[in-house]
């Protein structure tokens, strides 16, 4: 089991193209931990904004009567990919991992695979 700091560091070191990572509580919109980002990319703002994305998707699924669970939400921009992975089990309810990737360097399939592995080892 890995702690939050170790997991965020692993996101940036083991996932090609990763430039920022955060663990976010989507009930409050607060980032519980962040790594990367910078002056041009405020992870606190991104965490709060992506909380709205998760809430909207969960609400829509409820209205549609879908009994599925969200694994990932992927947002593609011209030069970046934004991945949201909802945590499952071990106190992860209401939390998601947020990852920002450089689209020119990232492999989405491998990034999903690595993020799933990191999520499974994260102890919250």
Contacts of residue 69, Cβ cutoff 8 Å, sequence gap at least 6: 86, 88
C-beta atoms surrounding 96 within 10 Å: 25
pLDDT class of 2 with cuts at 50, 70, 90: confident
At 47, list the tokens: 């965490």
List pLDDT tens digits, range 89-117: 665 689 999 999 999 999 999 999 999 99
Judged on CB neighbours under 10 Å (0-12, 13-18, 19+), 80 is middle
pTM over 0.85: yes
Q: Pick the closest to residue 30 from 14, 50, 11, 13 (CA basis).
A: 50
For domain 4-121, give the CATH number: 3.30.450.30
Locate the domains of the chain by residue range.
4-121
């Amino acid at each position: 089991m890995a702690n939050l700091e170790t997991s965020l560091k692993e996101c940036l070191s083991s996932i090609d193209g990763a430039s920022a990572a955060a663990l976010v509580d989507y009930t409050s919109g607060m980032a519980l931990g962040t790594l990367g980002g910078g002056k041009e990319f405020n992870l606190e703002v991104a965490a709060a904004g992506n909380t709205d994305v998760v809430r909207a998707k969960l609400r829509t699924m409820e209205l549609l009567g879908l009994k599925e669970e969200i694994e990932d939400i992927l947002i593609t921009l011209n030069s970046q990919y934004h991945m949201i992975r909802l945590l499952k089990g071990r106190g992860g309810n209401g939390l998601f991992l947020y990852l920002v990737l450089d689209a020119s360097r990232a492999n989405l399939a491998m990034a999903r695979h690595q993020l799933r592995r990191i999520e499974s080892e994260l102890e919250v």
